[in-house]
Amino acid sequence: MEKMKTKRLDIKISTLVLLLIFTLIGSKALAQDQFVIIANADVPVESIDKSTIKRIYNGFTTQWKNSTKVKPCYMQIQNDAFWKYMGTTKTNFNKFWTKRVFSGNGVSPVEHGSSAALVKYVSEISGAIGILRIEDQKLAEGNCKILQKTN
């Protein structure tokens, strides 16, 4: 009888531990799928929609309303969330920009190796806009405008 009780308790604890692990993994995955759009303080918008972001990162929108040059940048993001949001893949995005740059039709968005470097760039460069992982949002708070959170 005592053995049975101990076994049930073990099962309950195991289930709880498993649930905790799944919750942690799930919340981490959710966080990885989210990102924030940040911008330099002088950018004359307070929010931004998906189609404008796509046009900026495709090089079609090159100027803000105050005629400041749009300077898009992004991070070497580990997951596919940003590319799904853009409706493309990293490889196809690179192909698109290779053609655009070599045909004389513009310069590609700047790629940063870390969130800190991206935030530094956006906070210092007039007209800059960047894509940041949501878990690194705190780095941008106070230094940059937060234009959009998304998933």
Terminal C-alpha separation, the chain? 51
Residue 141, beta-bridge partner list: 144
Does position 55 interact with other proteins (CB under 8 A)? The reply is: yes
Does position 7 interact with other proteins (CB under 8 A)? The reply is: no
Site string for other proteins, 75-104 (x = CB under 8 A): -----------xxxx-xx-xx--xx-xxxx
- Of the residues 58, 143, 148, 150, which one makes contact with other proteins according to CB under 8 A: 58
Interface residues toward other proteins, by CB under 8 A = 51, 54-55, 58, 60-63, 67-69, 71, 86-89, 91-92, 94-95, 98-99, 101-107, 124-125, 127
